[in-house]
Every structure is written in C-alpha cells, then in structure tokens.
A = this chain, B = another copy of it.
Amino acid sequence: MEVVQSIAQMREIRRQLALTPEATVGFVPTMGALHKGHGRLIQRALNTASLVVVSSFVNPLQFNDPRDLARYPRTPSQDHDICNKLGVNYFFEPPAEDIYPPGFLTTVNVSRLANRLEGASRPGHFRGVCTVVAKLFNIVQPHFAFFGHKDAQQLVLIRHMVRDLAFDIEIVGVPTERDKNGLALSSRNQLLDDEQRQKALCLNRALRRVHFLAKKQGITHCGELLQAVRSAINSAGEGVELDYAAIVSRTTLEDLSHIERGNTLVLVAARVGGIRLIDSTRL
C-alpha cells in the first residue's frame, strides 16, 4: 500500500493510472478512525474495482461545532494497518492546507436537501461534505465511490450532487455494520463509556420497533411509527436526548404521511452523554 500525502502526488498517480484504461478505480472517502463499517465499504470496493483508494481527511468545513472537531477520534497508524491488511492500493491523507489553501472560496451545495434533518441540526454540514467530496472526486477520479447507509441523508445528497453535476462516477451504498448488540458502528462510538454505550442501543431498538410495527402489525401511518421511535428513545432514560426522528422519501427527503415500500427512510439522531449519534433504516 502506498501512503499519499499531497494532492500533487495523488494527481500524478491518477494520471499514470489513466494510461491503463482497463483499470477501474474504487474510492472510499473517510474521516479516518476506521472501524468494521469502513472495512465493509473497503471490502465492497475491492470486490468492485481493480484498484482501491481510501482517503482519510477530517474535514473542518463539515463541523459546525469546533469542540466536536477537536475531539473527533484520530488513529492514523491503526488506519494504515487496517487498509494495508485489507489490500488497499493507495491511502490518501492530504493535509488540511492542501485541501483548503489560503483564499479558498468555492462551495458546492445541494440546496433544500441540505437544510433538513442533519442539516438543520448542523448548519453548513452538508455544504462542507459536498464541497470536500466534489474536490476528492476531482483528485481521485474514481469509477466507483462507496458510502455507508448509516449516513443516509449524506448518501442521498451525494447521489443528488453526482446526478446534478454529471460526475461520471457510480455511487454505491453499503449496508450499515453493527456490533453484536445492534449499535451502528461509528467512529464517535469510541467517545462513549460503557454505560453510554448501553444507552446508545436505544437508537437501533427504536428502528427495530418500526420494522416490527410496519412489517408484523401492518402499521403504515408515519405519525404512529414516529411516536414509537420517540418512546423507544425516551425510555432510555437520563443522558439521552432525542434530536430528531423522521420518516422520509428516499429520493426527496420529504416527510411521508404513510410509508411507501422501497422508498422509505427512517432516520433518528440523539445525543447520548453529549455525543451525537445517528442511525437509520430502510423500509
């Protein structure tokens, strides 16, 4: 595995790869602190493309809260080991001043979709995500890019951006990886203590409850399903605060009054001991 630490170097590698037009490039953009969820994305990339690039960049532009940015976990040498063992070809970790040089002024925004849910709780978050992803796409020029289902709204926005701006990239969504108790894997889980980790299970419990009500009891009314989500979160007790729960269209992110099979996303966000966690499921 080659570790690449500048845009210029990555660009040169990409130009060389273009001389072998039959090679395909799979790309997994991450913020580092890799866990088995990333492993699943990388595995999928390795199965899809002939060469895999993993990027690691904690993107300041997508953090609206400087404390959240400061405490975001960073485990670079562990990340190298994981990618190396999996068989990743290039590990791209550009410095922040390379991505955002002095006088950086350009932003990419998916209006409307970016202002709901996560975007409402974290103003500017998705502008930051779309801007850095567009830039990484231009540098890596992948044939395929892999994003997790857990960040469900992000996946919808990236797909929308790729369609709107005609990036010649196939976006592949990869199912959420969970620990044995059902907690969705997230780099932020590292910040939870044992008790908080136990309480954090309420997010997945809420989503499983929705599945049960929709599939076994035939409930389709979103108001009723959302009430069940709220109860599940609230019953986790002290230190757990619901941020939002929503049932929306997978294409427009508009609230649904009744679930539409194959086009429904259930999203939940909560703070557990001050750590913000999200989870989601499809119906």
- Give the B-binding residues of A (Cβ under 8 A): 7, 11, 14-15, 18-19, 21, 101, 103-113, 130-131, 134-135, 138-139, 141, 160-161, 163-168, 252
Say yes or no: B165 contacts A134, CB within 8 Å.
yes
Say yes or no: A107 contacts B111, CB within 8 Å.
yes
Whether A166 contacts B105 in the complex (CB less than 8 A), given A18-B18, A21-B19, comes out as: no
Say yes or no: A107 contacts B108, CB within 8 Å.
yes
Say yes or no: A106 contacts B161, CB within 8 Å.
yes
Q: A105-B113, A107-B111 are in contact. List 20 more A-B contacts (CB 8 A).
A: A7-B166, A14-B168, A18-B21, A21-B21, A101-B163, A105-B111, A105-B160, A105-B164, A106-B108, A106-B130, A106-B160, A106-B161, A106-B165, A108-B165, A109-B109, A135-B165, A135-B166, A138-B165, A138-B168, A139-B166
Copies in the complex: 2
- Closest residue of B by beta carbon distance from A99: B166
Say yes or no: A106 contacts B168, CB within 8 Å.
no
Shortest beta-carbon distance from A81 to chain B in Å: 28
Give the CA-CA distance A252 to B104 in the complex, in Å: 11
Main secondary structure of the interface of A (DSSP, over half): mixed
- Closest residue of B by beta carbon distance from A22: B19
Shortest beta-carbon distance from A157 to chain B in Å: 9
CB pairs A–B below 8 angstroms (10 shown): A11-B168, A101-B164, A104-B164, A106-B109, A106-B160, A106-B164, A108-B108, A131-B165, A135-B165, A135-B166
B residues near A106, Cβ cutoff 8 Å: 108-111, 130, 160-161, 164-165
Question: By CB atoms of chain B within 10 A, which of A21, A138, A164 has the most?
Answer: A164
B residues near A252, Cβ cutoff 8 Å: 103
Question: By CB atoms of chain B within 10 A, which of A15, A108, A130 has the most?
Answer: A108
Say yes or no: A164 contacts B141, CB within 8 Å.
no
Whether A138 contacts B167 in the complex (CB less than 8 A), given A21-B21, A109-B109, A110-B105, comes out as: yes
- Closest residue of B by beta carbon distance from A127: B109
Give the CA-CA distance A166 to B130 in the complex, in Å: 14
Say yes or no: B110 contacts A109, CB within 8 Å.
no
Give the CA-CA distance A101 to B162 in the complex, in Å: 13
Give the CA-CA distance A21 to B15 in the complex, in Å: 9
Nearest 9 interchain pairs by C-beta: A106-B164, A138-B166, A19-B21, A139-B166, A105-B110, A135-B165, A106-B110, A105-B111, A106-B161
